Amino acid sequence: MTATPVATPVPSAAQVPGRAETARKKLSSPWASIAAIVIAVLWTLPTFGLFVSSFRPERAIKTTGWWTFFTDPTVTLDNYKGVFGVGSTTNLADFFVNSLVICIPAVLIPMALAALSAYAFAWIEFKGKNILFLSIFALQIVPLQVTLIPLLEIFVKVDLTGTFWTLWLAHSTFALPLAIYLLHNFMREVPATLIEAARVDGAGHVAIFFKVMLPLLTPALAAFGIFQFLWVWNDLLVALVFAGGGNEVAPITLQLANLSGTRGTAWQLLSAGAFVSIIVPVTVFLLLQRYFVRGLLAGSVKG
């Protein structure tokens, strides 16, 4: 007798979950949600404590922790009045404006130069292009500290110390290598057929950059702009070196450092001033978060 083979049923593709489906189930598990909530709470707890302390009276701040606010909810605006010069010698309003004046050009200058440079490296052939691009890429590993003294000597020779130009040029110089690298990688993902079609229609490099490439660069430019704005706003080292020691161009971070040194016991002013300084970067990040994520993911997946 000949044995008849029995066909083993093969499960369909729908019955066998793939890696993506398995990963999705793991990420949607309750444990993943609980872990995300715990991380979010721990991450925002110091900021919340700073916010609460900025509204507490001076004596309460110096004698008890911020969590005791919930048992004795005493609120005052004297701390914010103090940091803005009402009844005290400290006024952060001018330094707040200085930070805005520093940040806006320090973001726009490297964005403009990096976009033009990235287009040249991506779509224009010239001698020594690869070596030059490799040199710019290698500049990212150069420590910021080793460039401060040479830059300061140059600014002293051209008589730019104590002006906003030193901060604008310094921040732009430090940001250009990363900006060129990011924008170049994004531009290389643009289909070559799109560029060729524009050339067939008679467009030159200038028209291609402004009419074709620049609209496509919006996510990448937004991501770099947010990153650069947060970096410049929170900077202290570059301000200490290039602000010239005067209050005319000093940002708010430098004044907070001076406030911490001269009034180490005035915790009520420090807490209020620190919270004022983080309002702008937190607001910018929250409002433009979707552009930041899109820019980071731009060019990572083809198609």
pLDDT tens, residue by residue, 113-143: 999 999 999 888 888 888 999 999 898 888 8
Cα 193–chain centre separation:
33
Say which CATH topology domain 93-297 has: MetI-like fold (1.10.3720)
How many Cβ atoms are within 10 Å of 194's Cβ, its own excluded? 13
Residue ranges of the domains in the chain? 93-297
Does the pLDDT at position 24 exceed 90?
A: no
B/e letters for 227-244, b = 16+ CB within 10 Å, e = fewer, are bbbbbbbebeebbebbbb
State the Cα–Cα distance between residues 86 and 127, nearest whole angstrom.
62
The pLDDT tens digits of the residues spanning 93-105 come to 888 889 999 999 9
Distance between CA atoms of residues 66 and 52, nearest Å: 6
Average pLDDT over residues 186-196: 87
User: Above 70 in pLDDT, residue 303?
Assistant: no
The string of pLDDT tens digits covering residues 168-181 is: 999 999 999 999 99
pLDDT digits (tens, 9 = 90+) for 260-281: 665 556 778 888 888 888 888 8
Which pLDDT band holds residue 302 (cuts at 50, 70, 90)? Answer: very low
Q: Please tell me the predicted confidence (pLDDT) of residue 86.
A: 64
C-alpha 268: how far from its chain's center? 28
- DSSP states of 36-84: HHHHHHHHHHHHHHHHHHTTS-HHHHHHS-GGGGGTS----SHHHHHHB
Q: What whole-number percentage of the chain has pLDDT above 90?
A: 18
What is the model's pTM?
Answer: 0.78
Range of lowest pLDDT (169-183, 204-218, 288-302) = 288-302
Average pLDDT, the chain: 82
pLDDT at 27: 53
User: Is the pLDDT confidence value at 295 over 70?
Assistant: no
**From residue 212, how far is each of 123, 207, 208, 292 by CA, in Å?**
13, 7, 5, 21
182: closest CA among 111, 281, 234? 111
What average pLDDT does this structure show over 223-234? Answer: 90
> What per-residue confidence (pLDDT) applies to 287?
81
The answer to whether residue 92 scores a pLDDT higher than 70 is yes
Going by pLDDT thresholds of 50, 70 and 90, the confidence category of residue 203 is: confident
* Cα atoms in the 13 Å half-sphere on the side-chain side of 253: 20
| Percentage of the chain lying above the pLDDT 70 cut | 81
Contact 232, 171 (CB under 8 A): yes
